[in-house]
Every structure is written in C-alpha cells, then in structure tokens.
Amino acid sequence: MEKDHAFDDALIRAELAKYLTPRDLAQCAGVSHAWFDWFIPSLWHTRSFYCSLSNIPGLRRYQQHVRVIKDIAINLAVESRDYWSFPNLQSVQFVQGNNNNLFRPQYVTFGGFGGIHQGGQMVQGSVNVSRVDLRLVKLLDSTPLLQDLTVTLSLDNTDVYRQFLLALQSLTHLRRLELVCNEYVNPIHIQQVISACRQCETLSFKFWGNDSFKGTEEAGEYALAKAAMEQMQDIAVKTLYLESSLSDQEATIMVPLLKHCPLLEEIHLWDLHLDSTLELLQDAFRNGACPQLKTLFPSNSPPTKKDPLPTLLSVMGPNRGVNAVGLQTLTIPTHYFLAESALAITQHLAQSMTVLNFQEHIMKFEVFNELVTGLPHLRSLSARIEEISAQTVDINRFNQMCARDWVCLGLEKLQVGSQLTQGIPTVKTDSWKQSLPRRCMDYMFSQFARLENLEQWDWVAGPVDLFILTGGYLRTLSNLKQLRRLGLGSSTVYRMGAKEADWVAENWPRLEHVDLSCRKMLVPIADSSRVKADKLALDAFIHTLRSKRPSITFNR
C-alpha cells in the first residue's frame, strides 16, 4: 500500500528529490496519482523558459512551489500580466537575448519568440521593451523571499524605475543583485537604486549607454547624483562588480560608492576612462576606503593610457589604514601586465598577498622571479613564463636572478606553464647542456625542491621531459612529502618508466592523482611534431605505480 511506502514521509521525499534530475522527477511523477502529488512540486522548484510558453499553465498551477526562474524576460512578462504570485521564489534571472545581455533593442518581436527587430521602430506583433520591463518589476512585488535577482532593465523609463525602486525596498531578503542597463540612465536613479540595496552582499552593475549629447540638464543630474552619493549611508556589500561605458560615472558613482563600502572584500573594476579617476581612487584608498578589501579583479581590457594597476596596488596594502587587511588575492585576466606592477606588489603587498592568478598573460622570467623572491606569504600561484635566449636576456642580470632564493616557501598550489625549454629537442643533447634554459631549469627545480608544503603542482612545459631520474630533476624533489596532485602537460615528451614509479611511490607518500594531459595552462609549442611520448615507458610507469599504490588515479 502507498501509505506504507517510504516516500509517504515528506522529509524522505524532500531529501531524495535533491538528488534527482528533472527527468527522474518526471518519471516518478508518472507512477501514480499519489506520486504525482509528491514529486511535481520538486520538479517545479527551478523553471527555465528559453524557447516556448508550453510550461506556463503548469507554472500557474504550481507557482507556490517555484523557487528559481530562469527566463527570457519577454516570455513570462507577456503571459504574466499582473496577477502572478510567487511566495516562495528565491532566485530570478530575467535576461533579454544573448551576447551576455549587452544587446537590448528598443522593441522585441515575439512572434514565435525567436525574432528580434533591431531597427528601433514599432512593427506589427512587437512589444515595447519598457512595457515588458514594467510587468517584470511589478511581478517582483509577489516575491517576498527573493534572495538573488539578475535582470536587464530600461531604467531610463520613469515608470519602470519607480516600480523597480519600490520592489527593491520591499525585498528585505535580497542578498545578490545583478543589474544591466543598456541605455543611458539618470545618475540620480543609479544612486537611489544603490541606496535601496543597502542590505545586499553582492552587487553587479553594468551601465551601457551614450551621453555624448549631454547638456546642462544632464550635467546637473551628475552633480546632484554625486552629492547624494557622498551623503549616502554605508552599505553592506562584500562583492562588487562595476562596468560602465560612461566616463562621468567614475567620479560621480564609482569613487563615492567605494567610500561607503566598509565591508567590501572583493571588487571587479571596469575600465577607467579618465586619468583623474585614478587619482581619486588613490586618494580614497589611501584615506581608508574599503579597509576589508582582499580580492581584486582588474579590467579585462588593456589600458589605452597609463596603466592604473601599479598605482592602485600601491595603496591597497595593509599599512594604508588602521583596519586595513591588505590585498590578498589578485587575478590578472589579460595579456597586459608590466614589470612595474610586479614591483608594486612586492613593495606594498608583500605582507598580505597570498594568491596570484595570471589567466592569459605570459610573463618574462624576470617578472616571475620578482614575485617568487618577494612575496613570503604566497600560498597559490598560477603563471606562465615566456622563452628565454641569449638575445632576450641580460646575462649579468640573469645570473643575479638565479642567485636569489624563493621566499614563498609556504606555497600549497603552484601552476607553472613554461616556454623556457622551447627549441631544445632533448635533455641529452649538447645544445641543452650548454643552454640558458638548462641553467634556468637548474635554478627553478632547486627552488621547487624547497616547497615542502606543496600539495598541488601543475608543471606544463615542453618539449623536454624533466621528470626522469637520469638526466632530469625528479631525484631532487624528494622533499615534496605533502604533494597530493601532480599535473604534467600534454606537450611533454614523457620518458618516465618503472624506475620513476618506484621513486614516486617511495618519496611522495600522499600523492593521490597524476594528470598526464594537464591542460590548465596552455603553453604553445613551436614544433609540436617533436612531442612524442614513450608509450611503453609511460605504461610501465602507470602499472608500477598502481601496483605499489592502488589508490592513485591517473588521467592521460
């Protein structure tokens, strides 16, 4: 009997539903009427409406169970009118179109919900975006438990702005807001929206528009908005994303905002259009703005004028204020990173910096050397080093760099992509023995051997195999007793065999996983035809290591 079934217990059903896919839930719902009533509410926790409105009748029926809605905004807005109620809704993503929400036409054609009219003129079957936005923000009135909101809106429309402001003021549980505006927005509206999000912990603002025809009225709006920003109460934001195409918003919105974020821990900065903004930011941080700031993600785009990074880093250290913790994590997403920035890091952030992540940049060896010999508290480093040769390196300076010991001996995670051995066919040739890359590798591996706290190490290099006992560097790494994961690049010429496996089993007691095709750090190889592993030796390495340490896993 169903009454005797374990699923009759609501707690058991709720716990089980957490691990079932929508397909599994739908199959459970088809077993019987009782199972339908049990599992359909869980199936409606998260609803996505990207293509059609076929699910709208079910949404109406089970709206009290919906917790997450992901939707192309016009679909739900056109159908919803003003009578929807989502008392348990916690997360909403109302997006418009593709391309990361950065394109939003004035009118959207919804015939079939696939066409977009880009001409900006009303045509038959089209819906005014402002009218859709108004319905969306009115719908937010029925979501008292909303915690996460992602929305693209036309806040230049007064009715939309006013209704959105009222909705924000009523959403007392809101903790994360991502707002995209693709038209010019009155800066006073921006200030009041920010003020209404005082309790949010994560704020993301992307303002795209054009104020090239700015006149006296717009200039007055900026002046009033700046005054309001300066007088605004502090907000609780901990993570802040800022992007804008308008230079006037830097001094009006961004700089005053940072002065009212005492709890801010992480910031993603937009491009700086004006040199004067850099000076304002420098003064703000020097005077104690954002004392809890720990993580910085600079702009994705290279600066067109003066690089702002060295100046910003110089005022983000732990000594800039009484309560300042100092910048601890820095992620460089671009190809653009100068030696001046590395020097600023070691001069001003040496006592606080623990995580450095270079996503695309391939740095000079001298920049890498400056970082690892100047940051004693570094715990995680991800970097790629470019090729060196007698034509590109000052020999005297190179000798001085190779005489400096690393100070980041507490490193726990190290990802290094190296082009230093580019052009060297094998470690057995005279060209390798007499080369600058050989001298550099001697130095690098002598420092790797000192990293006794290292737990994860990805070494992506090629085409020279350095992880061998004879002629390589494996024997020098016996101190890495804490190593758990080892990643070796797919461009490496593997010669490792049974002897290396015996050594690894004996000297690295905590090793759990070996990735022999690590692609976390892309390192282009000029002559990929030389990248050929010794398959028999590699098979012997894996078989031998598995026989001694059965719990070790491999990826190849």
Percent of the chain with pLDDT over 70: 79
Q: Any idea what DSSP says for residue 425?
A: -
Bridge partners of 107, per DSSP, are 128
Residues 6 or more apart whose Cβ sits within 8 Å of residue 372? 378, 381, 406, 407, 408, 447
Q: Any idea what DSSP says for residue 403?
A: T
Look at residue 100 in the predicted model and tell me its pLDDT. 38
Which CATH number describes the domain made up of 354-556?
A: 3.80.10
Q: What is the mean pLDDT of residues 445-452?
A: 96
Q: What is the mean pLDDT of the chain?
A: 82
The count of other CB atoms within 10 Å of the CB of residue 429 is 12
For the residues of 250-278, what is the DSSP string, one character each? IIIIIHHHHTT-TT--EEEPPPP--HHHH
User: Of 27-36, 208-217, 240-249, 293-302, which gets the smallest average pLDDT?
Assistant: 208-217
Rounded to the nearest 10 degrees, the angle between the axes of helix 22-29 and helix 33-43 is 160
Determine the residue type at 510.
R
Token pair of 101, please? 């929400």
Token pair of 415, please? 């990802």
User: Of 253-262, 300-309, 530-539, which gets the smallest average pLDDT?
Assistant: 300-309
User: Of 100-104, 247-251, 502-506, which gets the smallest average pLDDT?
Assistant: 100-104
Q: Any idea what DSSP says for residue 234?
A: P
How many CA atoms lie within 13 Å of 210's alpha carbon, on the beta-carbon side? 2
Rounded to the nearest 10 degrees, the angle between the axes of helix 339-348 and helix 365-372 is 10
Whole-Å CA distances, 370 to 22, 114, 185, 341, 357: 52, 53, 44, 10, 15
Q: What is the mean pLDDT of residues 330-351?
A: 90
Look at residue 168 in the predicted model and tell me its pLDDT. 94
Look at residue 5 in the predicted model and tell me its pLDDT. 60
- The C-alpha atoms of residue 173 and residue 244 are separated, in whole angstroms, by 27
464-523 pLDDT tens trace: 778 888 888 899 999 999 999 999 887 777 788 999 999 999 999 999 999 988 877 776
- The C-alpha atoms of residue 363 and residue 367 are separated, in whole angstroms, by 6
More confident call, 294 vs 185: 294
Helices (H) and strands (E) in the chain, counts: 20, 19
Cβ–Cβ < 8 Å for 366, 339: yes
Checking if the pLDDT of 79 tops 50, the result is yes
Look at residue 51 in the predicted model and tell me its pLDDT. 53
Q: What is the mean pLDDT of residues 327-353?
A: 91
Q: What is the mean pLDDT of residues 27-53?
A: 69
User: Of 96-100, 162-166, 492-496, which gets the smallest average pLDDT?
Assistant: 96-100
User: What is the phi/psi pair of residue 346, to 5°?
Assistant: -70, -25
